[in-house]
């Protein structure tokens, strides 16, 4: 197996270290790595290896990889929940809390861009009222499109979250017919998107972070954050 072609680039050194330790005689080593599937998807795996001997001479390394996507999602969910809880506890106002939530969640999970969509009760639509962007994200055009967009219930990612008050995950927005900003998302390199509801007393607001494909793993979701 060619590790350089199988492992995600940032895991190559770790994979080589795994082989080195196995060849050095360690009875069993286990590593968490990410591999690149044929379709380009990144899959988190746990790899266990052992040295293969023939007449007492090492002739190879045998490995077994186990898909640990569910475990990683659970771990990421805990990280995100803690970040949200801490951000809320440290905030004195809703606006301050939103900025801290956006930054904490995006930074803890490696997302590039996050926005808050708020219900406007006059025309009863959603508008993007708060935004956070990672340094160097180069997503100004997408941010501008978000600020200029208005979504009714059920339309786009914010509208879908608003409709059911449940988290929504989109694997690739470029292939999603109900993502009105898909052309701009494709232009800036955004593919994976998710949104979750935030309750302010009885009012639902929607946070919709967006991240570039490959910069993070899909994660499980909590039901929402609540600000009193």
Domains defined along the chain, listed by start = 3-67 (3.30.450.20), 70-227 (3.30.450.40)
Tell me what the mean pLDDT of segment 176-195 comes to: 89
Tell me what the mean pLDDT of segment 76-101 comes to: 79
Q: Is the pLDDT of residue 112 over 80?
A: yes
- The pLDDT of residue 28: 67
Tell me the C-alpha distance between 15 and 48, whole Å.
11
Please name the helix (run of DSSP H) or strand (run of DSSP E) that holds residue 131, with its range, or none. strand 125-133
Cβ–Cβ < 8 Å for 219, 195 = no
Q: Which of 146, 114, 117, 149 lies closest to 133 in space, CA to CA?
A: 114
Q: Is the pLDDT of residue 21 over 70?
A: yes
> Please, what is the end-to-end C-alpha distance for the chain in angstroms?
54
- The pLDDT of residue 205: 59
CA neighbours within 13 Å on the CB side: how many for 113? 23
At residue 175, the 3 state secondary structure works out as helix
Q: How confident is the model at residue 70 (pLDDT cuts 50, 70, 90)?
A: confident
- The pLDDT of residue 181: 93
pLDDT in tens, 138-182: 888 999 999 999 999 999 999 998 888 888 888 888 889 999 999
Tell me the C-alpha distance between 105 and 42, whole Å.
21
Q: Is the pLDDT of residue 195 over 70?
A: yes
- The pLDDT of residue 50: 83
- The pLDDT of residue 200: 64
Query: What are 23's two structure tokens?
Result: 């060849």
pLDDT in tens, 26-59: 776 688 999 888 877 888 999 888 888 888 888 7
């Amino acid at each position: 197996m060619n590790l350089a072609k199988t492992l995600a680039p940032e895991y190559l050194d770790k994979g080589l270290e795994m082989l080195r330790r196995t060849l050095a005689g360690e009875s069993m080593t286990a590593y968490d790595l990410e591999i690149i599937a044929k379709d380009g998807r990144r899959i988190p795996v746990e790899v266990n290896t052992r040295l293969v001997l023939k007449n007492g001479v090492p002739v190879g390394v045998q490995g077994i990889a186990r898909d640990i996507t569910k475990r990683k999602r659970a771990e990421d969910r805990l990280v995100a929940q803690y970040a949200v809880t801490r951000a809320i506890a440290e905030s004195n106002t809703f606006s301050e809390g939103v900025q801290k939530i956006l930054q904490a969640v995006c930074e803890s999970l490696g997302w590039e861009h996050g926005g808050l969509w708020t219900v406007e009760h006059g025309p009863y639509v959603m508008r993007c009222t708060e935004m956070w962007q990672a340094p160097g994200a180069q997503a100004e055009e997408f941010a501008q499109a978000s600020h200029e967009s208005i979504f009714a219930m059920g339309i786009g990612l914010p509208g879908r979250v608003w409709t059911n008050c449940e988290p929504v995950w989109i694997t690739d927005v470029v292939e999603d017919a109900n993502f009105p900003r898909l052309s701009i998302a494709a232009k800036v390199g955004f593919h994976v998107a998710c949104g979750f509801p935030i309750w302010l007393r009885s009012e639902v607001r929607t946070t919709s972070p967006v991240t570039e494909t490959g910069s993070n793993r899909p994660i499980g979701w909590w039901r929402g954050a609540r600000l009193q």
